[in-house]
Each structure stands twice: as C-alpha cells, then as structure tokens.
Structure 1
Amino acid sequence: MQNRTDVQLQMILLVVAPPSGVLFAVQRGRDELLRPFASTPERISFAITMRLGPALVDGAFNFQGPYAQGTPTDRFVYLNSGVRAGESGSPWERRAKIKLSGIPRDLVEVAIGDSNRAIEARIQGRARDGGPVCAAVQRGAITWHLATRT
C-alpha cells in the first residue's frame, strides 16, 4: 500500500456530547471553516476528504490536503469551536488537534481509495472544564472506526 500515492481517504468526524449552544467547525487551510453536515444536541458530524501522498521515510502515511495541518510527520485536523468557529460573542475561543497518527494503520489500508468506506473518529466534545474540547485530543477522548456506506 505504501507505493500508492495521491489516493483519497474519506473521513467522518463525530463530535459526541458537545456542550450545548457552542458552534463547531473544521478548519480548512489557514482560515476557511467547514460547517457540519448534520447536528443534533448529542452529536455533530463533519465529512472531509484527505489525500495520501508518498509514504514518509519511516513508512507512515503522508496525510495531505486542505484539512491536513502541521508537518508531514505530525499531521492533525483542527476542530474549532466558539469564536474560532465563527460564533461572534461566544465565551469560548478554542481549537482541538485531532492527531492523524492515532488512526490504526489497518483502518487506513481498508478505507483508502474506497468511496464506500470512511475512517470515523468519535471525539468527546466536552473538555474537563465543561467547555468545548481543546488542545491535543487525548487517546481516551477519541476512538477510530471503519464506516461503510450501505
């Protein structure tokens, strides 16, 4: 799989149990925002597409595209909330880093290039202080799954 380059990887980000009344968005590039495709009081859902470039020297996946932030060896996706998500007047101004290195390799290998499959991240939407999730999302606050379109 490491020789395949420029293939697409579908991702779904589910923000579970977000604090009520807080706007969330995924950051695209430096300052564009992606709104959710679905939202309920219990969960907020985003769909993004990543590209996989040539494998890194250590064989790790090379996540690329407008949602990939950071350096090639430390890629992440920003989940913005409050003011950073475009909610003027919010008491919150937060950004959470969803580290892509945490995605299990076997899930990526099954999902890449398959438009009927996606990697799904379930992210706890609330930080310890009760506000929106922020900083680097820790392993216990995120789980990775394979989603299949039926």
Structure 2
Amino acid sequence: MDQSLNLRIVLLNPPPGVDYGIQKGRGGAYETIAKQRSIGGDLVFDFTVGLKPVPTGAEPDFTGPIVQGPPGARFLYLDIGTYAGQRDSVWSRRLKVPLRGFTKVALDRCAANPATVLETRIAGTARDGEPACGSVKTFLGWVPVLK
C-alpha cells in the first residue's frame, strides 16, 4: 500500500507578474493546480505525492497525478506563463523539479511526524532575469522542515 508524502517547493524570487503552478497530468491533457502569480518575493507550493513501499537500500519511488517520468527518474513540472493558463504572458515554459535527493533519515522523520514536510528551495529567475525553466540547474535535494 502506498503512503503519502508531504512536499514543499519554495521558488526563490521569480520575476513578478508571471503565473506559476504545478502540472497535474501529462501531454495536452493536463491542468495547472496551486496556481500563483509572482508579485516579488518567494512562491511556496505545498502538495502531496504517493510513496510506494521502499525495500531496504532501494531509492524511493513516487506516484500520483502530478508525478512525471519513469521509475528512478521521477520529477514534477512547475508550469510558467501560458502553460499555467496566463493568456497574456510572453512566457511559455516549464521548470522540471527532480524527485530525488531524499535521504532515509528525511523520509523517516516525515513518516514519524505529520507536522514535517520535505522542502526544496530552487531559483525562480535565470541569470538573464527571465523565469527559470528546463531542468533545475542547482538542486540541493529535499530537507525536512516543520510546516
């Protein structure tokens, strides 16, 4: 039986006036959930994914409608601009956030305390000042924090 795992993405200082959200579904049949417009400062996305039972020594595997990719290379998308439903945006992008870098200690801490969430912090703006997109360039993993 799958467990659930509470996750949080903190998108650091994305450009203002741009919509962001989590992609639910694949291909052209997706919807953007938890949509937010950047107004300066960070955006925070809290969500839950399924966690399949993890055999001793194995990497965790995730399930659910927002989880993308094959086993061993799971990720999720943050939709940006028109991909997030913002019709007047000049941006049509996605940011690919990896579902990797989880330690057994972090997973155990979250399982033991429902007030804990695993959080990652990623840059929302590229070096050129535009919304960051593609695969996350600097990914430090997921860290347990209190909700």
Bucket of the pairwise TM-score, normalised by the shorter protein: 0.7 to 0.9
Partner of 1:97: 96
Note if contact 1:9-1:114 (Cα within 8 Å) is conserved in structure 2.
no
Q: Is the 8 A contact 1:80 1:95 kept in 2?
A: yes
Distance, in Å, in 2 between the alignment partners of 1:67 and 1:112 is 21
Q: Which amino acid aligns with 1:107?
A: A
Q: Flag structure 2 segments of 5+ consecutive residues without an equivalent.
A: none
**How many angstroms apart in 1 are the aligned matches of 2:102 and 2:69?**
16
CA contact (8 A) 1:81 1:93 kept: yes
2:17 and 2:115 map into 1 onto residues whose CA distance is: 33
RMSD of aligned alpha carbons: 2.3
Query: In structure 2, what is the Cα distance between the partners aligned to 1:92 and 1:56?
Result: 42
Q: Assess if the C-alpha contact under 8 Å between 2:6 and 2:118 holds in 1.
A: yes
Partner residue in 2 for 1:15: 11
When normalised by structure 1's length, the TM-score is: 0.84
Matched residues in 1 for 2:122 and 2:102: separation? Answer: 13
Count of residues paired in the alignment: 144
Distance change (3 Å), C-alpha of 1:23 and 1:142: farther
Name the structure 2 match of 1:67.
66
C-alpha distance in structure 2 between counterparts of 1:77 and 1:104, whole Å: 19
Q: What TM-score do the two structures reach when normalised by structure 2?
A: 0.85
- Indicate the residue corresponding to 1:76 in structure 2: 75
Q: Which one-letter code corresponds to 1:27 in the other structure? A: Q
| Amino-acid identity (%) | 33
Match of 1:148 in 2: 146
In the TM superposition, residue 103 of structure 1 has moved relative to its aligned partner by: 3.1
* Uncovered stretches (5+) of structure 1, i.e. residues with no partner: none
Residue 46 (1) aligns with residue 45 (2): yes
Alpha-carbon contact 1:9-1:113 (below 8 Å) kept: no
